[in-house]
Amino acid sequence: MSRRRQLYEGKAKVLFEGPEPGTLVQYFKDDATAFNNQKRGVITGKGVLNNRISEYLMTRLNEIGVPTHFLRRLNMREQLVKEVEIIPLEVVVRNVAAGSLSTRLGIQEGTALPRSIVEFYYKNDQLGDPMVTEEHITCFGWASPPEIDEIMSLALRVNDFLSGLFLGVGIRLVDFKLEFGRYWEGEEMRIILADEISPDSCRLWDLATNDKMDKDRFRRDLGNVAEAYQEVARRLGILPEGGPRDMKGPAIMQ
Ligand code: TMP
């Protein structure tokens, strides 16, 4: 196997140069962090599950015409994606009050919101990803007004589709975070969905019991983190063949 050049290492993923120009290999680690890296841990098997769950959700989104960076899964922990210029925003969509919204505004967790809310955070670890408004985004040139419109419209389409998809398997999509990138096809630039969609980046509550099935189990020390991620995959009908014994996946190949 040829050596791949590592381009970027984040908290939960590593990006390598892809086999063809304009592609990248996205490797999913088992590492977990919370509260901007203050809490760290390893959730064994998380990378395998997130790779598979993100593949599934991005594929379904592609099918309904939401453009994404996902090309194909390569193995248990890696997927081939389109190389994009990441827009430095974390786009959060909320349907139910939880997490920072509840803390900041004193709204009890679990309160259904009268309409979905889209929030923007500036993607900058040193600053702790501060919340920003469209004024900041355009003033500092992170995205243009038409790009913001496109991002909002895509984020709400993703929300509508994923809310229904999860509802169908007994899960409430409370909130989630998306990242977008600029992708060039010749002279044409398109905004496409990038990064991942997984229990690391979503709040997923069991519809019947309100049990948390996402990274809040790690953030709040609730235990059974990998089991919850596995249950999400099981309900989506995509548990890796071979079941839990396959969860570790291969060691990182370089
Ligand atoms: P928050 O309530 O902490 O602002 O999180 C909102 C949603 O965004 C939640 O589903 C978790 C996700 N999220 C990330 O994916 N990455 C992050 O760094 C943060 C803070 C939240």
Atom of ligand 1 nearest to the CA of 100: 2
CA-closest residue to ligand 1 atom 7: 176
Atom of ligand 1 nearest to the CA of 103: 2
- How far apart CA 148 and CA 114 sit, in angstroms, is 23
Same domain? For 12 and 57 the reply is yes
Same domain? For 113 and 60 the reply is no
Same domain? For 117 and 183 the reply is yes
Same domain? For 193 and 90 the reply is yes
Helix (H, G, I), strand (E, B) or coil at 133: coil
How much distance in Å is there from the Cα of 34 to the middle of ligand 1?
9
Which range of residues forms the domain containing residue 175?
86-206
- pLDDT interval class at 146 (50, 70, 90): very high
Q: Could you tell me if residue 59 is inside a domain?
A: yes
C-alpha triplet 133, 120, 29: angle, nearest 5°: 155
Structure confidence by residue, pLDDT tens digits, 62-99: 999 999 999 999 999 999 999 999 999 999 999 999 99
Same domain? For 45 and 147 the reply is no
Q: How many domains does the chain have?
A: 2
- How far apart CA 12 and CA 77 sit, in angstroms, is 12
Residue 31 near residue 234, CB atoms below 8 Å: no
Structure confidence by residue, pLDDT tens digits, 91-108: 999 999 999 999 999 999
